Chains A and B, each alone.
Chain A
Amino acid sequence: MKIFVPLDSAAKALGADDVADAISREAKARGLDVRIVRNGTRGMVWLEPLVEIDTPEGRIGYGNVTPDQVPDLLDGKLNGLGRVEDIDWFARQTRLTFARCGVIDPLDLDDYETHGGLVGLRRAIGMTGSQIVQEVTDSGLRGRGGAGFPTGIKWKTVAEAEAPQKYIVCNADEGDSGTFADRMIIEGDPFSLIEGMAIAGLGVGATRGYVYLRSEYPDAIHILTQAVTIARQRGLLGPDVLGSGRAFDMEVRTGAGAYVCGEETSLLNSLEGKRGTVRAKPPLPALQGFLGRPTVVNNVISLATVPVIFEKGAQHYADFGLGRSRGTVTLQIAGNVKRGGLFETAFGMTLGEVVNDIGGGTASGRPVKAVQVGGPLGAYMPVEKFDTPMGYEEFDRNGGLIGHAGLVVFDDTADMLRMARFAMEFCAVESCGKCTPCRIGAVRGVETIDRIAQGDAAAIPLLTDLCETMKDGSLCALGGFTPFPVMSALTHFPDDFATLQEAAE
């Protein structure tokens, strides 16, 4: 009997290791021949630990399993959820990037190949560099890290640059609250990232790659490091990638707890062993990136999506989506929400559908007050904006940003003045210090919000003005986008900024 127990760190955080131990102990005591496979997560964090038993009818799921339920599980007495693929939350998704995540053993390269892995890389090997870049351009893929820049154009710039050494750098410094897609795919399907980086290397003529992975993700570091070793042993990485005669190899590097290093130029400085301060652009990293060489810097999800684009063809990918947002978006539904997890779907679903229909509303059962979309630098969207479709331009028009597609739900107990203050405080702590609007502005922002909290209404226009300055004058998104959560909180929830003042009047 084959039993799947996820090794994803969210599953482990909810007790998956204890469940796996209990299954193995109980099976031994009963003399049962049980093989436990530690798979990634299916993304239904609300059901974790989600144990699956392989049967002739398919993989039958059991949600929120505890160690003391294991005897019943093995007796067939535990109530199951049916086939995992038929669970409504799962069945409604379009899984392209995450097709294998939760299905396979993350470190079994044969399992990976059985499920469509390496088809894309083999196809890319038969193409020229410019054909590879064209394929990515045709897919319409845009940077999934947050900025939404067309990936193909970035690759083209690097491909056309002349240099003795070029690099592929994967930004796995997923510091935004509400996001965990990078962690999930690295833990659940690391070879897809490795394959995507290898294709990028062939496309732009880079022979070396780095994954800058945050230190807060020890499980992901452990799995990806092992996957890279396996890939090297099996000839997927090295001087002769899958017998192509072309070289590509990569290394995993660990971050050191600085949020700003998720910004690409600061990441490059950090990778070089410097303080993670932001660099002014130009020069673009595509021309002068890591060690001054042409460098592709892409987010994990962008790179991990590349294999499926080459496996199924650019058109297949581009056929999903809305307007200029092509393909799928990996929504991460988080915070105070009943059914949280990763939901991959074509762009275009509305915010309200995601929160209420998919997410099931708040975990606390109280009304939703706000949803912060796009991490700590994203706007707080009020319920009145729930008809906004998930798309880059659509969010932009509604004063928000999709970012890395994380959604954090808050119920009506949230104090939006406190959340605005937190945004400024976070910016002050994490500012790299290079530009004044961010370094000084964030500190003044905290002080100004404190004045508002004490009932000083004159501080409100000051805060608005300060946010304008930060937005226009900051070098990077940290100072430039902190005004999004602050101003959206102020604009949409003015009552939270007026309480003390009214009380005093």
Chain B
Amino acid sequence: MHSNAPAPSEEEIRGVVAPLSSMEGPLLPMLHALQDTWGFVPQAAVPVLADILNLGRAEVHGVISFYHDFRSRPAGRHVLKICRAEACQSMGANALAESTLQKLGIGWHDTTPNGAVTVEPVYCLGMCACAPAAMVDGRVVGRVDDARMDRILAEVGA
């Protein structure tokens, strides 16, 4: 799926979100469902959500853009999150992040040219007693040093 897949149609979007419309406060679950399906929240979903929830398009856009989690375009094949919070900083997370980005030749939120990995900052993974921490596609890694990071990067094909 992702980068080369055709944009989802209105029917496909409705198919994903409509079953959730009986929930109390359904918008966040709907956005998560869209992102779980396509890897990002397609622009075409905005009018559909506005219609289903009887909201303005601007309101829906406002919600999507408020939250760090929702992407407007696909990420790389893997997502590497590096924790930047204080506990990880106390164990050298700043230097780790810097050297990782330098190795990959990209900045925060960027994807490597081969499409293998997107690097994102995250503020706390709850690994504060085994810092610094990172997360690769939902799998947490603790006490990350340069060697461990190199292994992670090799695994994701960066």
Contact = CB atoms under 8 A, between A and B. Distances in A.
A, B assembled together: yes
Interface of A: 9-10, 12-14, 45-46, 48, 174-180, 182-184, 208, 215-219, 251, 253-259, 270-276, 290-291, 332-337, 340-342, 363, 372, 376, 406, 408-411, 414, 419, 422, 426, 430, 432
Nearest to B121: A429
Interface of B: 23-29, 31-32, 53, 62-63, 66-70, 85-91, 122-131, 133, 135, 138-143
B32 A273 contact: no
Given A256-B68, A256-B70, A257-B68, A216 B130 contact: no
Contacts of B127: 9-10, 13, 180
Contact of A254 (B32, B86, B138, B141): B32
24 contacts: A9-B140, A45-B129, A176-B124, A177-B88, A180-B126, A180-B129, A216-B125, A253-B25, A253-B28, A255-B69, A256-B28, A256-B32, A272-B24, A273-B53, A276-B66, A332-B128, A335-B86, A335-B131, A336-B91, A341-B129, A363-B91, A372-B86, A406-B87, A419-B89
B25 A271 contact: yes
Nearest to A180: B126
A410 B124 CA distance: 16
Given A256-B70, A422-B89, A177 B25 contact: no
A414 to B, nearest CB: 7
A9 to B, nearest CB: 5
B130 A14 contact: yes
A177 B68 contact: no
Contacts of B125: 9, 216-217
A258 B123 CA distance: 9
A475 B141 CA distance: 36
A275 B62 contact: yes
Contacts of B68: 256-258
Please report whether the interface of chain A is mostly helix, strand, loop or mixed according to DSSP: mixed
Nearest to B94: A418
B126 A179 contact: yes
B63 A273 contact: yes
With most chain A CB atoms within 10 A of its CB, the pick from B32, B88, B123 is B123
B66 to A, nearest CB: 4
Contact of A273 (B27, B89, B123, B124): B27
A12 B141 CA distance: 8
Contacts of A215: 32, 69
Given A175-B124, A216-B125, A291-B25, A376 B142 contact: no
Nearest to B86: A177
A447 to B, nearest CB: 20
A337 B129 contact: yes
A251 B20 CA distance: 13
Contacts of B129: 10, 45-46, 180, 332-334, 337, 340-342
A217 B126 contact: yes
Nearest to B23: A251
A409 B67 contact: no
A335 B25 contact: no
Contacts of B27: 273-274
